[in-house]
Amino acid sequence: MVFQDGGRVAIRIRLGAEFYNGTTRNGITSKRYGSYSGSFMFINR
């Protein structure tokens, strides 16, 4: 999916975690983040 064309994605809603680790994948870097009440993840269909 590319931003200009749009498209559908599938996600799964999850409970929050005490912390979220940072990572680098596919050229994108995220930083460690503290506790949060909810989260989601992308799933393959």
21-39 tens-digit pLDDT: 999 999 999 999 999 999 9
Q: Give DSSP secondary structure letters for 1-45.
A: -BTTTB---EEEEEE--S-B--EEETTEEE--B---SEEEEEE--
The three-point CA angle 32-6-42 to 5° equals: 40
Note whether residue 24 is domain-resident: yes
Note whether residue 45 is domain-resident: no
Note whether residue 41 is domain-resident: no
Note whether residue 23 is domain-resident: yes
The three-point CA angle 18-45-5 to 5° equals: 95
Q: Which one is predicted more confidently, 11 or 8?
A: 11
Which range of residues forms the domain containing residue 18? 10-35
**Tokens 């930083």, residue?**
31
Note whether residue 1 is domain-resident: no
- What pLDDT does residue 44 have? 85
Note whether residue 27 is domain-resident: yes
Query: Structural domain tally of the chain?
Result: 1
Note whether residue 40 is domain-resident: no
CA atoms within 13 A on the CB side of 44: 0
